[in-house]
Homo-oligomer: A and B are copies of this chain.
Amino acid sequence: MIQKCSAVIIGVGPEQGLGATLASYFAAKGLHVYIAGRSEDKLQRVAEKISRKGGSATSVIADATVEHEVAYLFNIVQQDGFCLDIAAYNVDINIPSPLLEMDAESFTSIWQQNCLGAFFFGKEAVKAMKEKQKGTLFFTGATASLRAKPPFTAFSVAKAGLRALAQGMAREFSPQGIHVVHTIIDGVIDGERAKNQFPDYVQAKGKDGLLQLDAIAETYWAIHKQHPSAWTHELDLRPFKEPF
């Protein structure tokens, strides 16, 4: 009998979001999925949708920036006894601002959410995967991971830090069989957040100018399925029409 395996995704919010889509996609591939986030309502809706489609999901309320909540999440995974195939850190908070108007609290919070939480999550994931020397750990980056542009400087500080974390972890844990991946989402995702936050921009881009959620999930899956002799650590993802 093959043991059922699982995936943990943190940063799961709206149904039309990357976290929820990754969870649904992995569930459709036969993994039990742990979905974590701060909003019980949203997690509930995502979990129900996964169930309706025949998948299985456990929702866990957890704030990625609170270490013991992240530990608690991985405790649940361990207690259930599923092996852990995938862990995806998908928290992504951006607060655009002229630098002089940004306060210490926002600057720190952006870093905590995009980067410190990834450190907590990454450590727990490695601990969970280490024994079997197997598993894929995803960190979702952005254009800002490579280039700092106002008014996104604080976001870029956090995302450049996240990229360094992913790179350092890949160098440390790949030889132990853990596949550490950093994706650079270069463009706007066709999801709820963008539609709410900047509807005109989304409208202007048009369907061809936005990253489709399922398309991203497909690539995450393909990278997860790579043979260890040819692992990808970093790749960009962008709409074909996106200037870069």
Q: Is the CB of A240 within 8 A of B164?
A: no
Chain B residue contacts of A223, Cβ below 8 A? 222
Chain B residue contacts of A122, Cβ below 8 A? 99
Q: Is the CB of A232 within 8 A of B236?
A: yes
- Partner of A171 from the list B149, B230, B239 (CB cut-off 8 Å) is B149
Q: Is the CB of A231 within 8 A of B226?
A: no
Chain B residue contacts of A111, Cβ below 8 A? 111, 115-116, 161
Size class of A's contact patch? 35 or more
| 1/0 contact string of A146-173 vs chain B (CB within 8 Å) | 0111101110111111111111111111
Q: Residue on B with the closest CB to A104?
A: B67
Which chain A residues (229-244) contact chain B, with CB distance < 8 Å?
Answer: 229-244
A174 at the interface (CB under 8 A from B): yes
Q: Is the CB of A211 within 8 A of B230?
A: yes
Stretch at the interface among A3-11, A36-44, A212-220: A212-220
| 1/0 contact string of A94-105 vs chain B (CB within 8 Å) | 000011100010
Chain B residue contacts of A100, Cβ below 8 A? 123, 126-127
